[in-house]
Structure 1
Amino acid sequence: MIKIGLTGSIGMGKSTSAKLFADAGIPVNDADAVVHDLYSGDAVALVEAAFPGTTADGKVDRQELSRKLAGDPSGFKRLEAIVHPLVRERERAFLERHGKAGADMVVLDIPLLFETGAENRLDKIVVVSCDPQIQRQRVLARPGMTEEKFNMILSRQTPDAEKRARADYVIDTSRSIDAAREQVKEIVADLRRKPKADGTESGEP
Structure 2
Amino acid sequence: MITLGLTGSIGMGKSTVAAMFAEAGVPVFDADAEVHKLQGPDGAAVAAIEAEFPDTTSDLGVNRTLLREAVMADPTAFARLEAILHPAVADKREAFLRANRAAPLVVLDVPLLFEAGGWRHVDRIAVVSASAEVQRARVLARPGMTAARFEAILARQLPDSEKRARADFVIPTGGTLEETRAVVRDVIACLRDQAGG
Question: How far apart are the structure 1 equivalents of 2:178 and 2:5?
Answer: 22
Cα distance, 1:73 vs structure 2: 3.3
Q: Is the 8 Å Cα contact of residues 44 and 58 (structure 1) preserved in structure 2?
A: no
Map of 1:174 onto structure 2: 174
Amino acid at match of 1:119: W
Cα distance, 1:120 vs structure 2: 1.3
Confirm or deny that 1:111 pairs with 2:111. yes
Question: How far apart are the structure 1 equivalents of 2:144 and 2:24?
Answer: 33
Question: How far apart are the structure 2 equivalents of 1:42 and 1:145?
Answer: 28
The more displaced of 158-167 and 50-59 is 50-59
Amino acid at match of 2:142: R
Amino acid at match of 1:134: V
Question: How far apart are the structure 2 equivalents of 1:144 and 1:67?
Answer: 13
1:149-168 matches, cutoff 5 A: 149-168=149-168
CA RMSD of aligned residues (A): 0.9
- The number of residue pairs the alignment matches comes to 195
Cα distance, 1:29 vs structure 2: 0.3
Post-superposition CA distance 1:95-149 (Å, at most 9, x none) = 00001xx111100001110111111111000000001000000001111111111
Q: Is the 8 Å Cα contact of residues 7 and 128 (structure 1) preserved in structure 2?
A: yes
Map of 1:199 onto structure 2: none
Identity %: 54
Question: How far apart are the structure 1 equivalents of 2:47 and 2:28?
Answer: 28
Amino acid at match of 1:144: G
Post-superposition CA distance 1:129-176 (Å, at most 9, x none) = 001000000001111111111111000000100000000000000011
Counterpart among 46, 49, 61 of residue 48 in structure 2: 46
Cα distance, 1:58 vs structure 2: 4.1
Question: How far apart are the structure 2 equivalents of 1:73 and 1:25?
Answer: 41
Q: Which runs of 5+ in 2 are unaligned?
A: none
Amino acid at match of 2:167: A
Amino acid at match of 1:71: A
Cα distance, 1:74 vs structure 2: 2.1
Map of 1:75 onto structure 2: 77
Post-superposition CA distance 1:3-32 (Å, at most 9, x none) = 000000000001110000001100000011
Cα distance, 1:193 vs structure 2: 2.2
Map of 2:121 onto structure 1: 121
Question: How far apart are the structure 2 equivalents of 1:149 and 1:69?
Answer: 13
Query: TM-score of the superposition, structure 1-length normalised?
Result: 0.93
Amino acid at match of 2:121: R
Displacement over 3 Å in runs of 4+: none
Question: How far apart are the structure 1 equivalents of 2:179 and 2:64?
Answer: 33
Amino acid at match of 1:132: A
Question: How far apart are the structure 2 equivalents of 1:118 and 1:146?
Answer: 28
Amino acid at match of 2:72: A
Amino acid at match of 1:129: S
